Amino acid sequence: MNFEMTDDRRMLADSLSKLLGDRYGIEHRNAVAYEAPFHDKTGWNALAELGILYAFAPEDAGGMGGSGFDLLAVFEQLGAALCPEPLLGAVMAAPLLTEAKEDLEPLLSGEAIYALAVDEPEAPWDAGGGTCEGGDTLTGRKTAIYGANAATHFLVSARREGKLALYEVKAEDAAVTPWGMIDGGGAGELMLDGTPARCLIPDAGEAIDAALDRGRLALCAEAVGAMDWCYATTLDYLKSRKQFGREIGSFQALQHRMVEMKTAIEQARSITILAADRMDAHTTAMAKSLVGRTARKVSEEAIQLHGGIGMTWEYPLSHYAKRLVMLDAQLGDADFHTARVAASYA
């Protein structure tokens, strides 16, 4: 057994970490994350130039990766730096475009920004529950589309002849309502009303589910990176903050809390590694559920152990904490995925 990352992935992760450190310092990150369009075009271009997007697709589709471990290598770094760029859309779009035998080069080079539109207000996280209708055009409403403002292309699920089909809609043809998210980054809705669309895959149910699971794996890795950061920062704080004439880290009650936090993070990391290896629906559901639960716990603990300072906008931890909690609500929360796992027992 070998849990080491390959040299290629380690190099990619290292240069990504360096780029994020240079370009997405917390002040700039916050300015980008909380102000429309919630995306920094030059930062995006730099990420693309580094070849990050090529890690999302296999070699025979023009990429240089596409495995679960490639996603891990990239998203842990994005999480550790709290990068708000809409890379999740590319992760989910890459396998769908591959399946549709589309040209991936615009996505991989960063020139086209893709966002996946499957959620509807009444059926969050449920690709099959939507009511959007497709023929030559699309009619319906899609919501919780991450990266909607930056997107140049949307991949939209819709019913067509009784099957779930996948369409491409160009941003310029669609009515997009964008908004900012409380944890930074942007999302939005599509109001489709006879909107011009191109059917890419007529029977896309399985492909969409698989793409969503890739997105979920990426989110797990992002959470692991962000949790590592929170843990390290909280530990530093416990070593430096003095109350009652000593470091608060010297109180055993707090030491035990840190040890529990670390154990929980290692559990989350472990199931994420397993999901990256297997890349199947069942393990991904387990990972997303366990990671979602842990992410909430870690963010709540990190704030609490910081006392008042952890509650402030100025202190970076508060933004990591928000991201970790809201990440649970993306692409299915812990309960949604626990139910998926439980359903397999019947």
Partner 1 sequence: MDLSYSPQEQAFQEEVRAFLADELPAEIAERVKAGEEVSKEDTERWHAILQSRGWLAQTWPEDHGGPGWGPVERHIFDEEAARAYAPRILPFGLQMLGPVLIKFGSDEQKAHYLPRILDGTDWWCQGYSEPGAGSDLASLKTKAVKDGDEYVVNGQKTWTTLGQHADWIFCLVRTDAGAKPQAGISFLLIDMKTPGIEVRPIKLIEGGHEVNEVFFTDVRVPAENLVWKENDGWTVAKYLLTHERTGIAGVGFSIAAFERVKALAARTMRGGRRLIEDPLFAARLAEVEMDLEAMKIFNLRMLAEAQRVGHPGVETSMLKIRGTEVRQALNDLYRRALGPAAALIPGEAPGGNAALVAPEDEAAAASYFNNRKISIFGGSNEIQKNILTKAMLEL
Interface with ligand FAD (CB under 6 A)? 241, 243-244, 248, 251, 253-254, 304-305, 307-308, 311
The length of the chain in residues reads 346
Closest CA to 25 of 84, 73, 110, 87: 84
- In the complex with ligand FAD, which residue's Cβ is closer, 31 or 309? 309
Least CB distance to partner 1 at residue 92 (A): 15
Site for partner 1 in 19-38 (CB under 8 A): 34
Question: Is residue 120 a contact partner of residue 141, using CB atoms and an 8 Å limit?
Answer: yes
Question: Judged by CB under 8 A, does residue 296 bind partner 1?
Answer: yes
Residues 113-132, one symbol each (x = binds partner 1 by CB under 8 A, - = not), give ------x-xxxxxx--x---
Listed ranges 11-19, 54-62, 74-82, 330-338: which one lies at the site for partner 1 (CB under 8 A): 330-338
Question: Judged by CB under 8 A, does residue 165 bind partner 1?
Answer: no
Among partner 1, ligand FAD, none, residue 177 binds (CB under 5-8 Å by kind): partner 1
Question: Is residue 131 a contact partner of residue 114, using CB atoms and an 8 Å limit?
Answer: no
Beta-strand pair 133-134/163-170: unpaired
Judged on CB neighbours under 10 Å (0-12, 13-18, 19+), 160 is buried
Among partner 1, ligand FAD, none, residue 78 binds (CB under 5-8 Å by kind): none
Residue 138's alpha-carbon distances to 6, 93, 221, in angstroms, are: 44, 19, 34
Range 312-324 burial, b when 16+ CB lie within 10 A, else e: eeebbbbbbbbbb
Judged on CB neighbours under 10 Å (0-12, 13-18, 19+), 139 is middle
Estimate the crossing angle of helix 205-240 against helix 252-278, to 10 degrees: 160
Question: Judged by CB under 8 A, does residue 177 bind partner 1?
Answer: yes
- In the complex with partner 1, which residue's Cβ is closer, 2 or 243? 243
Can you tell me whether residue 32 is helix, strand or coil?
helix
- In the complex with partner 1, which residue's Cβ is closer, 24 or 320? 320
Distance CA 280, CA 68 (A): 10
Least CB distance to ligand FAD at residue 308 (A): 3
- In the complex with partner 1, which residue's Cβ is closer, 55 or 138? 138
Can you tell me whether residue 238 is helix, strand or coil?
helix
- In the complex with ligand FAD, which residue's Cβ is closer, 234 or 330? 234
- In the complex with partner 1, which residue's Cβ is closer, 11 or 36? 36
Interaction site with partner 1 (CB under 8 A)? 34, 119, 121-126, 129, 141, 143-144, 177, 179-183, 187, 189, 191, 242-245, 251, 253-254, 296, 300, 303-304, 307-308, 310-314, 318, 321-322, 325-326, 328-330, 333, 335, 338-339
